[in-house]
Structure formats: C-alpha cells, structure tokens
Amino acid sequence: MANEELTKDIVRNKIDESKEFGWKREPEKSKNIILDKLLKTAAKTKSNKQGYPEFIVTNKEYPNLVLIYECKAKNLFHKSESGKKYQHYAVDGALWYAKAVSKKFDVIAVAVSGESENKIKSSNYLIFSEKNEIIKISSEHLNPAELYNLFEKKTKKKNEDQTLSQFTKSLNERLHDEDIKEDKRCLLISGILIALQNKAFANSFKHQKTTKLLFNHMIASIVAELDPKPEYSDTVKRSFEWMKSHKVLNSDRNFIINLIDEINKNFNNFIKTHEYFDFVSEFYVEFFRYASNAKSLGIVLTPPHIAELFNDLAETNKDSVILDNCCGTGSFLVSGLRYMIKKSEGNKSKEKKIKENQIYGIEKEQDMFVLALCNMKIHDDGKSNIFFTNCFNFDVNDFKKSDRPTVGLLNPPFKPPKKQMKKKKEELEFVLNNLEMLAPGGICVALLPMDCVNTQRGEGLFLKSELLKKHTLLGVMSLPDELFHDSNTSTVTCCIVVKAHVPHNKNFDTYFGYWKDDGFVKRKWGRVDDRKEWKNKKKIWLDSYFNKKQIEELSILKKIKAEDEWCAEAFMETDYKKLGKEDFTKTIKNFLSYKFINEKNN
C-alpha cells in the first residue's frame, strides 16, 4: 500500500540539510500572513476541501523567495497529461500552489514522488513574481541551498536580459540623436564588437589621440578579426569607411571612446555567457523599430521562433549542411548553427566541423554581407562560408562534393509593389535557386508572401509549374498575419516545404496548414509569447505535419496542380456558424490597416 509519509520523510531530511544556512521548513501553513493568505486562496479554489502543499520553505535572508514542496507516494502520480489534476499529481499540485504564491513572491516549485531514495523522482520549476512563465530547472536537487543557487543563476540571467534590452534601446536613441542613420547603426555596433575581440585594439582604443587614428585602427582590427577571403577584404573595409567622414563621430572623440567602452562592458560579457544569441538581428529589430524607411531598405527579419520552426520542419540534425542563398544578416544561419550544435551533444570536434563546413550563406548586398560575417564571427565561426555574390551567379561547384547542402532555409527579399518594381526577382526564383544547389532529397523551407503561392497566371504560374516539374511540394503553411509586426510590413506570409530533385507526383497529398495562431501577442515593443503558448502550439503543428493529420480548422491534405491556390484557406471549409460581429469588425480593421500602411509606403 502506498505510503506518502515515506516520501515526506525523505524530503524533510533533504530540507533540513540546509538548516544551518537559514532555511526554515513549515508544514502546510505559514506564519507569514501574506503567504498564508495566498495559499488559502489556492486551497479554496483547488477543491471543496482545504488543501496545502506538504512543505513551505523560506529564508530570512531572501524574503522574496518561497519554496513549495508537493509530495506523492507513487511515481505513477508524478505528473498528469493535462496538468490540471491538482489533488492527485505532484507536479500539478506544486505548480498550482506556486502560481498562487507568485502573485507576491518568486517561487521554486518542487514536485516529488517515490517511497524510497532509489525511486525518488523530482521536477523543479521557477516562477518569478507576477510573471506567467514557468521555467523548468534542474531536477537533481531537493536541498533548498542548492535550489537557491539555481535560482540565483536564473535571476542573474533575467536581470542581464533586462539590462541588455534597456541598454540597446537607450543606445538606439542616442545614436539617433547623433544623426547616425538606421542602416549604419548596426554596422557601427557590430564593427565595435568585432574590433574589441582584437586584444591590441581593446587595450589601446582609449589612448588613440585622434578619431582618424582610432577609426583606422578599428577598421584594421575588424578586417584582421573577420579574416575574410582575400577577395573580400576591400569589401569589408568599404562597409566601415563611412565612419571616417561622419561629422559627429569625427568631431567628438569622447563620444566614440565612451561608446566603445560601454559596448565592451554591456555586450561582450553577455556574449561570453549567452552563446548563439543572434545579436545582429536583435540590433536590427531595435534599430528599425521606429524607422519609417525600414521596409524600403528591405529589412524584413525572420522572427527567432519561426527560424527555429523551419529547422524543425527541415529535420536539421548534426550532419546537415545548411544553405541560405539570400542570407541577409545571417539569422537562419545562426539559428541552424545553434540547432546543430545542440544536436552534437558536446562533441567539440563535431562542433568545429559544423562551424567550418556545414554553414553556407550567399548575400549580394555589401552591408548585409559584412553584417552576416560579423554575426557568424560573434558566434565563433571565424571560417564561415559566406559568399559575397548574387546567388543566381553562384557556381554550385564551389561546394565541396561531400558538403553539398542538404537543408535550404531562406526568407527571400520581398518584391516591392508594382510602382516600385525595377526588374526585381520573384520570390519563387530564389526558392528554385536554393533547390538547385541542394543535394537530391534535401529539404528547402522558405518564408514567402502568400501572393506568390496563390498566383494563377503569368510568371508566378510558370515558376510554380517549374517547381512541381523538378521538386516535390511537401507542405504549405499559412503563417500569422502580423508576423512581421516589428518590420513595419503588413505582408501576409506562408511557409513552404519542398523536397529537392524529386518531381512532384500528381497523386501526392500535399499538407496545408492553417498556422495562423502562434500564441504571440502584440505589445508596444513587438510580438511576444507572453502567455507561453508557443511551445505547445509548435508541438501540435509539427505533429499534424509529420504525421499528415487532417485536423478541423488546422490542416488538410490535397492533391494539387500549379494552377491551384497553394494555401489552406483555399481548401478548408469555413464554419460560418462560428463567425460573429467581432470577426467582421476585425477583418475590416485589418483590411483598412493594410491599405493605410501600403499607401503610406507607396
């Protein structure tokens, strides 16, 4: 027969190991009036009966932190599938109480099951005060002192994230005030970060007597650290030469010295502890957030969670070779690098090979190319294969036979409105170009405007036909309408997944997904996963795609031709009974917003 008291005895002993460090254990109720009131509230709504966690642990030195312990005798009752069986499962109950307590305190929720030391199972979670995010932390510890060490590390990271965000925003405003244009700010910051990796520059920049000497040394240091192919050295130099002639930067030595010093203190330490954070793209998000001309500059950044989703769809693994033939600042390359490094599970020789031979990027815009080099260098990829050329002129023989790309990831330049068109390439042309470079059976995942997969005439129809003649359209997913909220564009987008060099069989069932709701919500600083729904949403999406599930209002399978509209909306039936006045109002508002933004930009 199950005996929960045995579990409690084990936990009680673990807690008491930390008595000498000031950790105090209280069974069920607390003498802290505020804490006890929060627990009573949770207990009343948990069931008709009163209920409390097994142990409440606090420390006078850390008055804002509370540890909640919930115990169950059998591992069978450790965690339910729904997460809502609060009385019967350890994890469910621990998180229930923790959420109530987190209204006023930071909380570590500890769920424990098992009646003996060798059968003990634990799950630990952290919830910061007034935050909805549940952070899973190491489950190896039950001892409060050890759990506090984990809490301290997470708190430090949270504070660093907030500090970095505030500094980036402040930095953007200062550079704006100094009349440094949006398209140059990111180059300036990225260049400083790279130059600071040069020890000679880092030790001497404060001692340069003139701005001319400072910038000469800085540009030389950037080139030395990036160590580009010989034919690209002048290209890198040209992207930073503007600093020498900028009025403010050249007239105020103290400003540039202080700027370099602040960036060194605020960013470089962060980089050392936050590997594979996509700094360059984050700069762009911040620097172009308030820019009226961001769209005209072609800056449409792929949100990080979508870049990760694309790697999931491509089934990127440690042996994949990734190609982005219009890589921009390198967001997809950084995402792919992160993804493959994680899959290599700490194998350093494999990580080295990934960085040197499994990442390929092509970019024809000079400044974007240089920023991609900076981005990859920041992520310790000094030998990255980034090519400065037009992808349509690229010689596929430049790839080593053994390193022929197996995964294509791209967000091609979006074609401007017809009034602004100057013989711009169609988005599908970039997709076809990427597919031609992939190894047979390779997977290409691309982010495209919905218009180019729905077109039923002209060049667009021809390109769709070409795609089906040579390759297989595995899936098309309609993405959230406001995906590019940060980039000031209202373009409705989709994601397409294509298998390279396998002609599309007319009897093949292509997957169409209505992936409009990613759980993100708009805030004044951008789209964010405030409600923490993305992880579960992504799990459902990927399960329906890989298992070819037809789910009402989410996905459908269809045999298609080039003449068809390639989107879920064209095939899924609308349940008009579910439509109300709010849906009509929202649609009208979205349409008016679309008209306003596009007419303004035109």
Q: DSSP character for 18?
A: T
- In one-letter notation, the amino acid at residue 198 is N
Contacts of 339 (CB under 8 A, 6+ apart): 308, 311, 316
529 versus 44: the higher-pLDDT residue is 529
Architecture of the structural domain at 300-574: 3-Layer(aba) Sandwich (3.40)
Contacts of 105 (CB under 8 A, 6+ apart): 35, 38, 64, 65, 66, 129
Residue-wise pLDDT for 447-463, tens only, equals 999 999 999 999 999 99
Considering only CA atoms, which of 116, 56, 114, 126 is closest in space to residue 90? 114
In terms of residues, how long is the chain?
602
Tell me the two tokens of residue 78.
């450790």
φ/ψ bin of 428: left (φ > 0), alpha (ψ from -120 to 50), beta (otherwise): alpha
Calpha distance 602→599 (Å, rounded): 5
CATH 3.40.1350 fits 4-154, yes or no: yes
pLDDT band at 164; cut points 50, 70, 90: low
Cβ(34)–Cβ(4) below 8 Å: no
What Cα–Cα distance (Å) separates residue 511 from each residue in 170, 245, 434, 452, 546? Answer: 45, 54, 21, 18, 9
Distance from CA of residue 542 to its chain's centroid? Answer: 17
Contacts of 149 (CB under 8 A, 6+ apart): none
> What is the reported pLDDT for 596?
73
Q: DSSP character for 59?
A: E
Calpha distance 281→330 (Å, rounded): 8
In the predicted model, is pLDDT for residue 92 greater than 70? Answer: yes
DSSP 452-479: HHH--SHHHHHHHHHHHHHSEEEEEEEP
What average pLDDT score do residues 201-230 get?
93
Highest mean pLDDT of the ranges 202-216, 299-313, 587-601: 202-216
- HSE at residue 212, side-chain half, CA atoms within 13 A, is 0
464 versus 153: the higher-pLDDT residue is 464
Q: Is 72 helix (H, G, I), strand (E, B) or coil?
A: strand
Residue-wise pLDDT for 476-486, tens only, equals 999 998 887 65
Calpha distance 215→583 (Å, rounded): 56
Q: Which of 17-26, 275-284, 288-297 is predicted with the least confidence, judged by mean pLDDT? A: 288-297
Considering only CA atoms, which of 139, 135, 140 is closest in space to residue 106? 135
pLDDT band at 294; cut points 50, 70, 90: very low
> What is the reported pLDDT for 280?
58
Calpha distance 69→415 (Å, rounded): 56
Q: Is 108 helix (H, G, I), strand (E, B) or coil?
A: strand
Average pLDDT across the chain, whole number:
85
**b/e string for 339-358 if b means 16 or more Cβ within 10 A?**
bbbebbeeeeebbebbbeeb
Considering only CA atoms, which of 417, 255, 445 is closest in space to residue 332? 445
- HSE at residue 182, side-chain half, CA atoms within 13 A, is 17
> What is the reported pLDDT for 443?
98
> What is the reported pLDDT for 575?
62
215 versus 277: the higher-pLDDT residue is 215
Calpha distance 531→521 (Å, rounded): 8
Give the domain ranges of the chain.
4-154, 178-273, 300-574
Highest mean pLDDT of the ranges 6-10, 53-57, 186-190, 429-433: 429-433
The answer to whether 4-154 and 300-574 have equal CATH topology is: no
Calpha distance 352→318 (Å, rounded): 11
Percent of the chain with pLDDT over 70: 84
Strand 493-499 to 510-514 pairing = unpaired
Q: Where would I find the H helices in 205-326?
A: 211-226, 233-240, 242-245, 247-251, 253-263, 269-273, 279-287, 304-314
Considering only CA atoms, which of 427, 439, 528 is closest in space to residue 131? 528
pLDDT band at 417; cut points 50, 70, 90: low
- Provide the 10 A C-beta neighbour count for residue 234: 11
**b/e string for 391-416 if b means 16 or more Cβ within 10 A?**
beebeeeebeeebbbbbbbbbbbbbe
DSSP 540-575: HHHHHHHTT---TTTEEEE---TTS--SHHHHSPP-
In the predicted model, is pLDDT for residue 314 greater than 90? Answer: yes
- Backbone φ and ψ for 319, nearest 5 degrees, come out as -100, 0
Cβ(118)–Cβ(137) below 8 Å: no
